[in-house]
Amino acid sequence: MRVTDQPPPPEPPDAAAPGSLEASVRAIERAAGALATASVARMDETLPWFRELPADQRAWVMLVAQAGVRSLVEWLRNRDKGGPAPPDNSDEFFDAAPRALARSINLFQTVQLIRVTIEVVEAQLPHLAADGQEQGIREAVLHYSREVAFGAARVYARAAETRGAWDARLQALLVDALLRGDSSDVLASRAAALGWADAPPVAVAVGRSPGGEAAAVLHTVYRAARRIGVEILGGVHGDRLVVVLGGATDPMAATERLLVGFGDGPVVVGPAVPSLDEATESARAALAGYRAAPAWPAAPRPVAAADLLPERALAGDAEARRILRQEVYGALVRAGGELLETLDAFFAGGGVLESAARGLFVHPNTVRYRLRRIGEVTGFAPLVPRDAFALRIALTIGRLDPFAPTPPPIPPG
């Protein structure tokens, strides 16, 4: 449509009189089909993306163009009656096409279609408007095109709201299924409906929700995730915010960038797994860590669920007890009795090398070597206070659980 810096000329006297536009309106009404056909032909000439649409979607656009011209006729008739502004029915003609069209054509493309249609109508006005009414009809069409643009925005806004509400509900159901440990088929079907790419690795982070509307909470997290190029799914469960991260090579570093979306308190990240099918393991570890995190006030934020193994075990997490019993205590047993004996002597001597050496009747360097071996075997260094705490818990669990026999030591040689 054309825009001029000059003020429009005064409206012809007969343009405002009731019934004065009826002849022009009838002419436009008779030409509705031809105008719609010409509009679609112009779209095909000037819009490359329109030529690539499937035939059924091009037919939908034709229906919308025809409905638009009919709506213009009705709008002009209402306007011609005088009095208050005509009723706003400018977005009704979008109902002529299925809602799927809004998913195939974006808002910018829709505005292009409207512009082409209005240009075609304007070009035909000299042949359609009655004598002396061309300027008045032109101004009315320009006014109506503005209303149509707002109508298109309303259609896309409603579609976005509906889609957003449905996506949020589906994400909440998926996260709930993940926390419950539902089958991989359930997770896969819901993730596919959301367009989840399942980029590895996948990890789950759990923290406190900042409060407020769940949609606003998740929007903050999604915006932060887009900035760092990470795929996420999220859900608010009670006072907890659960976020599934996909494609983050370092889930801990990625979660640190997402802390803006969490409330106060600990944020715990479960172990990375290859795909969403296995993310239940990560979710369970993160939830267990979140429940146990208050026992470690000095924990970093975020903190890995694996760093909370002692607290999780004391809180009754069976998986944490299994890991400490089999992968820590069991590893010491399999490595031979010297390491367990040395660790007991080290703890009995208050964590002092010399005291442990005297109790074992060996040189302090021998104790130092064995402690280094303990760190290599278990992943926990006895000289680090936090690791020493985990080792103490592992020894206690390993010796107290008679229902989970430890594998025998590996024979020498």
Highest mean pLDDT among 17-26, 99-108, 350-359, 400-409: 350-359
Per residue in 273-287, pLDDT tens?
998 888 889 999 999
Domain tally, the chain: 3
At 3 the pLDDT is 40
327/293 same-domain check: no
12 vs 196, residue with greater confidence: 196
Mean pLDDT value of segment 375-381? 95
| Crossing angle for the helix pair 337-348 and 364-378, to the nearest 10 degrees | 110
Judgement on whether residues 130 and 17 belong to the same structural domain of the protein? yes
- Partners of residue 202 on adjacent β-strands: 246, 273
Question: DSSP class of residue 327?
Answer: I
Residue 338: inside a domain, yes or no? yes
Is the Cβ–Cβ distance between 324 and 306 less than 8 Å? no
The region of weakest confidence among 52-61, 185-194, 218-227 is 185-194
Considering the domain architecture, whether residues 286 and 332 belong to the same structural domain is answered as: no
Share of the chain above pLDDT 90, in %: 38
| Whether residue 38 has pLDDT greater than 50 | yes
Give yes or no: residues 141 and 215 share one domain: no
- Per-residue confidence at 245, pLDDT binned at 50, 70, 90? very high
Domain residue limits at 368: 318-400
Could you tell me if residue 168 is inside a domain? no
337 with 270, same domain?
A: no
Domain boundary among 285, 306, 327: 306
Q: Is residue 63 part of a domain?
A: yes
Q: Is the same domain home to 74 and 147?
A: yes
Last residue of a domain, one of 242, 273, 306: 306
SS3 sequence, 86-105? Answer: CCCCCCHHHHHCCCHHHHHC
195 exposed, middle or buried (CB, 10 Å; 0-12, 13-18, 19+)?
Answer: exposed
Single out the residue in 284, 306, 328 at which a domain terminates: 306
| Whole-number pLDDT of residue 6 | 42
Maximum mean pLDDT: which of 70-84, 201-215, 253-267, 395-409: 253-267
Residues 243 and 300 in one domain: yes
The model's confidence at residue 10, banded by pLDDT at 50, 70 and 90, is: very low
Distance CA 184, CA 181 (A): 9
Q: Are residues 30 and 90 in the same domain?
A: yes
Looking at the structure, do residues 30 and 154 belong to the same domain, yes or no?
yes
- How much is the pTM? 0.61
Please state which of the ranges 92-96, 125-129, 218-222, 292-296 shows the lowest mean pLDDT. Answer: 92-96
Does position 382 have pLDDT exceeding 60, yes or no?
yes
Supply the CATH number for residue 278's domain.
Answer: 3.30.70.2730
**Structure tokens of 28?**
């436009």
- More confidently predicted of 293 and 113: 293
| Cβ neighbours for 241, distance < 8 A, ≥ 6 positions apart | 206, 207, 208, 209, 210, 217, 221, 234, 235, 261, 262, 263
Residue 391 shares a structural domain with residue 333: yes
Q: Is the dihedral of CA 238, 241, 242, 244 positive or negative?
A: positive
- Report pLDDT for 121: 82
Q: Which of 89, 73, 88, 95 is nearest to 27 (CA)?
A: 73
Is the CB of residue 238 less than 8 Å from the CB of residue 313? no
pLDDT in the model for residue 100: 56
For residue 149, being part of any structural domain is answered with: yes
The answer to whether residue 179 is domain-embedded is: no
Q: What is the mean pLDDT of the chain?
A: 80
Residues 347, 285, single domain; the answer is no
Domain harbouring 367, CATH code? 1.10.10.2840
Token look-up 């976005």 returns 160
Would residue 2 count as lying in a domain? no
Residues 143 and 216 in one domain: no
* Domain assignment of residue 173, yes or no: no
Q: Does pLDDT of 82 surpass 80?
A: no
Give me the pLDDT at residue 14, please.
Answer: 42
In a domain, 120, yes or no: yes
Number of other residues whose CB lies within 10 A of the CB of residue 212: 11
Predicted confidence at residue 282, as pLDDT, reads 93
